[in-house]
Amino acid sequence: MIEDNKSEGKVTGGSGIVAGGNVTFGDNSGQFAVGENITQYQIQSISQPDLKELRENLLEFQREINKLGLDPDYQNSVNGNISTAVIEVKKEDPQLSEIKQCFEKAIKMVKGAGKTLENISELYEPAKKIATILGIGAFLLH
């Protein structure tokens, strides 16, 4: 813990960089930043077995989507997003944020077409597995 009492104020902080006046940090269990023009990144990694399972579930999800009889515009959008996610999974260094974004867009498109995943078990099961691997809350699927 760093503590510095100067005429301009008291600064209390923990590990890392602490700067400023009248700054106090309490209990903090994760990343924390205050100020302007701050960018924080959280790098999520995934094991090879999980990548394989993710790819298999994305492909299963896509097969089942094709059976729904969605309007062709919705169908093309969903398939495009899932295909993009599958391509990303196959890369040497896949970006999970990209995969997550594609999957979330596909789910929103299915919902936009008036379908609900929780009522279609063939979709819900692979979607639930994908969401778990990507760290997406199950609320997205309802």
Q: Model-level pTM?
A: 0.67
**138, pLDDT greater than 70:** no
Q: How far is CA 82 from the centre of its chain?
A: 15
Q: Say whether both 100 and 118 belong to one domain.
A: yes
Indicate the SS3 state at residue 6: strand
Strand order in 2-6's β-sheet? 2-6, 9-13, 23-24
Mark whether 95 and 32 lie in a shared domain: no
Asked if 32 and 87 sit in the same domain, the reply is no
- Are residues 31 and 70 both part of a single domain? no
Residues 33 and 58 in one domain: no
Shared-domain flag, residues 67 and 30: no
pLDDT of 15 above 90 = no
d(CA 126, CA 117): 10
Domain residues for 5? Answer: 1-42
Domain count across the chain: 2
Residues 126 and 80 in one domain: yes
Does 18 have pLDDT greater than 70? no
Q: Under 8 Å CB-to-CB from 45, ≥6 apart: which residues?
A: none
- Nearest-Å Rg of the Cα atoms of the chain is 22
